[in-house]
Amino acid sequence: MSKDKLKQYIYIVQSSKEIISCKIGITNDLERRLKEYNSMTGKSKDNIYQYLFTCEVSDMKQVEDDIKAEFKHLREEKSREMYFYNKDLFEKYVDFIKSHKMFAEEIFIKAGVQKEVVKIVKRTTPTLKERGLSQIDVINKAKKVSFDEFYTRYEDVEKELNMYDAEIWKDKTVFCNCDDAIGDAEDKNNNNTSAFSLYFIRNFEKLGLKKLICTHFAGVVDLFNSGSKGYIYTYIFTKTRTKEFKDFPKGYTGSFDDPLSLKILNEEADIVCTNPPFSRMIDFWDITIKSGKKFIIISNIQNPITTAYIPYFKENKVWAGYNRVDNYLNPKRELVRAAGTWYTNIAIKNRQKYNHLKIVPLKKIPEKYKEYDDSKTLLVDNCYIPSDYKKPFAVSARSILNGLLEKGYKIVEDKSYRGNKNGKKSYSRVLVQKV
């Protein structure tokens, strides 16, 4: 066996047909592995696999195991090495690999089909050619992203909202202020009604609600086949029966920051419950939290270590809900995957994810899950938390989502922490400290 075949590699590969996921794998032969992907039985000819990143390591199995442990929450299936993908997540994967003690060097890779040399540079977006995309593909994808056409499934809404004490809803006005539309509440396929609206209509009397107000966005895309005009839907219970009606105010956009939407938020709403557009999440959080209203919303799982959101967690204005949300529906009602979770400012009772936190003395944390960066800041992984460490230390989003801030720890900085390890930037974390 030649010396080359004994080399060990970590790679990130992506299919041109699955641009919201990628595979992180290991091999002794990069060219052969890529050919295997592109010659799979049953794969269409236009579904091209391309490397996004490749590097040589000294122990590929160890690096692979550490990747699985670190990014467990980003794996699509436990039995496969498929991970959720977007630009920020890609940077985190690459940063983690390149800061690993087994990392040897980033390398060039010769794409067998295109016969060209491709170099992926740390924290650089892959080229369109490397990802098997054309400019038109990118334009079309950008349009879809700007429309935020991911719909929440009814079962995910029901699973989360059923966890809360029924008393929080009694005599309250619920405001679903992001792209919600109302069709037939008895429609078993839920094709023309958002999952949030449907849940509250079906459970209106059971929850003892006072009123449900939903808005429909007047965007370019006709969400839920409900018309392109913005409108306000109201469902209310009177002494004798329930009433529902739609109002189409002149010039109303249906956006959560439309003046009329803000008026409803500030003057009528008690609880906001929705899946905000991911492209405008920062604005939505700012408006909602400043309003002082209660809320249960869906957002990205990386928010606890993202600078724009960290102050809210630090100031105890928001925390994780009960469940993750990994599956959504596109306009064709096809299942798509994205890494989301519920956030709220309503008390969580009996948080099961406390069990995922491993709060133990520092000396009992396995060596592979603790290290110090160049500034001597302690970095801990896999939800290990030092119970006897008094200085600030850095953790991943998963620890915050599992309820660390409810266990006697606090965030100490208003921004993400990315220290240097051996002169190279580590991936994003947040600094916490025992109170």
Tell me the per-residue pLDDT of 32-43, one tens digit each, with 9 for 90 and over: 999 988 887 666
Mean pLDDT of the region 407-416: 95
Q: Which residue has the tokens 């969400």?
A: 223
Res 387: pLDDT: 97
- In the three-class reduction of DSSP (H, G, I as helix; E, B as strand; rest coil), residue 298 is classed as strand
143 close to 152: Cβ distance less than 8 angstroms: no
Q: If you average pLDDT over each of 120-134, 229-243, 250-264, which comes out highest? A: 250-264
User: C-alpha distances in angstroms, 168 versus 28, 197, 291, 295?
Assistant: 57, 17, 18, 11
User: Mean pLDDT for the chain?
Assistant: 82
For the stretch 329-347, pLDDT in tens is: 877 777 887 889 999 999 9
Domain ranges for the chain, please list them. Answer: 4-133, 146-349, 354-434
Q: Please choose, from the candidates 234, 235, 274, the residue with its C-alpha nearest in 3D space to the C-alpha of residue 255.
A: 274
For the stretch 141-155, pLDDT in tens is: 444 443 456 789 999
* pLDDT above 90 as % of the chain: 51
Distance separating alpha carbons of residues 308 and 318, to the nearest angstrom = 13
Q: If you average pLDDT over each of 184-198, 216-230, 378-392, which comes out highest? A: 378-392
Q: 60-64, 345-349, 383-387, 425-429 — which is least confidently predicted?
A: 425-429
Q: Which residue has the tokens 């609206």?
A: 197
Q: 179-183, 255-259, 361-365 — which is least confidently predicted?
A: 179-183
**Residue type for position 140:** N
pLDDT at residue 296 greater than cutoff 90: yes
User: C-alpha distances in angstroms, 304 versus 111, 148, 416?
Assistant: 38, 21, 9
pLDDT at residue 116 greater than cutoff 60: no
pLDDT at residue 122 greater than cutoff 60: no
Res 242: pLDDT: 77
The residues pairing with 325 across neighbouring beta strands, listed in sequence order, are: 340
Listing DSSP states for 208-261 in one string gives T-SEEEEEE---SS-GGGS-SS-EEEEEEE-SS-EEEEEE--TT----TTSHHH
pLDDT at residue 128 greater than cutoff 70: no
Chain centre to alpha carbon of residue 95 = 19
Assign 95 a pLDDT band (cuts: 50, 70, 90). confident
Tokens of 12: 């990130």
Assign 13 a pLDDT band (cuts: 50, 70, 90). very high
